[in-house]
Chain A
């Protein structure tokens, strides 16, 4: 896709988003005007600002048709072909990691993600990869779970139960 088409698509998409926002405010039956005795209604802010967003998108569309923005004259690919692969694979890997967080929990998911990225994209040695993964997992556990007392997602019950051992160990021997 060229930058030119991307700009048209983006402006049109954002116009739709703005209209959708305006519609949501109306559908929720929020007041978009002055409420007698109470002041501006709850919908005034989101509705009229979304209307402004819609106008700004229309303005961009007009400028696109007139070729006024540099993007609308740019026929080069929207995402550079050579780096598209890297951007895409990074984003997909990140998404997969977040899905895995729901299933196997934070620690295994982050270790797998970091391991995959370092070993298969970065071509680092197994030694560096494994050491960094272990270090990262320990750092997250220490900083967030221990010091900030956050309960990071542990995934399915099976994995969550496994974690009890570690937490018990910490409470019994390290606190």
Chain B
């Protein structure tokens, strides 16, 4: 316990270093802005801005991106409340009560509640993070390739079992990402693989950023262009010190649901397929179920704003836990962070805690600081963000397209990858329109090389015996859980069909 306190102290000191503190400020600000823009969320911001972070050392870079991740969770609420359009999918549940509150002229109260709840959610989850991460990392140090592989299978299984998307399409998306990761030279045998049409450029493989920026930059903007046409009405927000103090006095009304949502969000966030969006929806549902007046939800209940906002912030921190300790990202955003860490030459996983404590604890320390910075910036700048929302898409869209192009070029120095990004982005957009989930593919391309390596290492050490995954207790548990997650939706479907058949033809 004392060790943790010492390390955390060092981390906090590191977070206050001028460069890191500056990164926290810029990251939070950028995140708030990106989160507030409809159509852009943390994952888009992290993907598009990752190339720029090579300007600063890795610790400062991840602090910036983590702050951005945080800020985007706060920012999402701004457009949910003032526009009635979720600024990011993570803020969908905030619309349910945030919008009616804005229509009743209580937008400022809703925004304050969102900011305060986000702060509480972030703080509770970062404390949970600090308590859980070190023991989990120590535990994970015992993992061999079998356990690593089993964990990744479990991560992908959560998409099938909990993702809620079409199952064959989810499986396709996962496998496509894993196969794309295999393009290029095989690390073990040195043979070139999947070099289509003899493109020499493919020998270096398909970088995960090419896919991530393609999907979350190009694809996402095309998606937004199609879906957000038409003028929207922005609700006026007036903020004065007096009204702010009055709004703060409402905290007691939503404190219990906020605390509950924070804890829930943290644990849901650690699951790869779940993350912040379902966490916020579940938290909203829970708040409604346990409320004394469930009927007032959806009509402008302040708890309905606080519960999902607390949960999505808590989930964003929660999803960092498996990424830092196990090397398995808990969300698409952390998948991109993980890919970034590999580019910076850091191998995420339990060894990070012993090899690079400065990096890990600097990041954890920065999360505490970022929480305070974001809540302060958010409350202070609400009027500004509301104004930013009025910025026409015809400025933002081309700028994002340009950043995608320059960003991809800057990471690989090849126009080939830029064209690949364009094609993958278009493909991702067309597939997403048909309900193919894209997040599993991004997660898979990041984890693909690690997954293949651990599979082959395990099989080599067991001389080809697949049972090696079922003989070790931890990997057996993961495999069984994974199997259960994969079978569960199929079993559910069969049961539903039987029930339908019993009722007879309609």
Which residue numbers of A lie inside 8 Å of B, CB to CB?
Answer: 3, 6-7, 10, 14, 21, 24-25, 28, 30, 34, 38-46, 49-50, 52-53, 56-57, 59-60, 63, 69-71, 78-80, 82-84, 86-87, 90-91, 93-95, 97-98, 101-102, 106, 110, 113-114, 117-118, 121-124, 132, 136, 140, 143-144, 147-148, 150-153
Contact present for A42 and B193 (CB under 8 Å): yes
Contact pick for B55, options A45, A46, A148, CB 8 Å: A148
Contacts of B168 in A (CB 8 A): 56-57, 59-60, 63
Contact flag A83-B225 (CB < 8 Å), given A3-B434, A56-B171: yes
Residue on B nearest A101 in the bound complex, by CB: B415
Partner of A30, one of B193, B402, B410: B193
**Is B254 among interface residues, defined by CB-CB distance under 8 A?**
no
Is the CB–CB distance between B395 and A122 below 8 Å? yes
* Chain A residues with CB under 8 A of B179: 21, 45-46, 49-50, 53
Q: Are A114 and B402 in contact (CB under 8 A)?
A: yes
Instruction: Tell me the chain B residues, 373-427 only, with Cβ under 8 Å from chain A.
Output: 392, 394-395, 397-399, 401-402, 405-406, 409-410, 413, 415, 418-419, 422, 426
B92 at the interface (CB under 8 A from A): no
Q: Give Cα A45–Cα B177 distance, bound, in whole angstroms.
A: 12
Q: Nearest Cβ in chain B — how far from A77, in angstroms?
A: 11
Which residues in A have their C-beta under 8 angstroms from that of B394?
A: 117-118, 121-124
Total inter-chain residue pairs, C-beta < 8 Å = 176
Report B-chain residues with C-beta under 8 Å of the C-beta of A140.
402, 406
Interface size bucket, B side? 35 or more
B54 touches A40 (CB 8 A): no
Interface pick from B72-80, B134-142, B307-315, B453-461: B453-461
Q: Which residues of B contact A6 (CB under 8 A)?
A: 430, 433-434
Q: Is the CB of B193 within 8 A of A25?
A: yes
Known interface pairs A6-B434, A78-B433. Does A150 touch B413 (Cβ–Cβ under 8 Å)? yes
Instruction: Check A40–B395 contact: CB distance below 8 A.
Output: no
**CB of A125 to closest CB in B, whole Å:** 12
The answer to the question of B253 belonging to the interface, with a C-beta cut-off of 8 Å to chain A, is: no
Task: With CB as the reference atom, state the residue of chain B lying closest to A71.
Answer: B434
Q: State whether the Cβ of B175 lies closer than 8 Å to any Cβ in chain A.
A: yes
Q: Which residues of chain B have a CB within 8 Å of any CB of chain A?
A: 51-52, 54-55, 166, 168-169, 171-172, 175-176, 178-179, 182, 186, 188-189, 191-196, 218, 221-222, 225-227, 229, 392, 394-395, 397-399, 401-402, 405-406, 409-410, 413, 415, 418-419, 422, 426, 430-431, 433-436, 452, 455-456, 459-460, 464
Q: Which B residues are in CB contact (< 8 Å) with A80?
A: 226
Are A79 and B193 CB-contacts (below 8 A) given A42-B188, A63-B168, A113-B398? no
B398/A43 in contact, CB under 8 A: no
- Contact at B218–A94, with CB atoms within 8 Å? yes
A40 touches B456 (CB 8 A): yes
Of B166, B175, B460, the contact of A39 (CB 8 Å cutoff): B460
The distance in angstroms between the C-alpha atoms of A57 and B179, with both chains bound, is 15
* Partner of A53 from B176, B410, B413, B430 at Cβ < 8 Å: B176
17 pairs across A/B with beta carbons < 8 Å?
A7-B434, A10-B434, A24-B194, A30-B191, A39-B464, A45-B456, A79-B433, A80-B226, A83-B225, A87-B226, A97-B401, A97-B405, A101-B418, A102-B415, A106-B409, A118-B398, A148-B52
CA distance A131 to B172 in the complex (A): 45
A70 to B169, CA, bound (A): 13
Q: In the complex, what distance in Å separates the CA atom of A143 from the CA atom of B169?
A: 39
What residue in chain A is nearest B399 (Cβ atoms)? A136
Instruction: Specify which chain A residues have a CB less than 8 angstroms from the CB of B189 in the assembled complex.
Output: 38, 41-42
B435's closest neighbor in chain A, by CB?
A71
- Partner pick for B422 among A21, A38, A94, A123, CB 8 A cutoff: A94
A52 touching B186 by the CB < 8 A rule? no
> Which of chain B's residues have a CB closer than 8 A to the CB of A40?
455-456, 459-460, 464
**A45 CB contacts on chain B under 8 angstroms:** 178-179, 182, 452, 455-456
> Given contacts A46-B193, A143-B52, are A86 and B175 in contact (CB under 8 A)?
no
Does B175 contact A90, Cβ atoms closer than 8 Å? no
Cα–Cα distance between A124 and B168 once the two chains are bound (Å) = 45
Q: Are B406 and A152 in contact (CB under 8 A)?
A: yes
* Chain A residues in 8 Å Cβ range of B226: 79-80, 83-84, 86-87
**Partner among B175, B186, B195, B415 whose Cβ is within 8 Å of the Cβ of A42:** B186
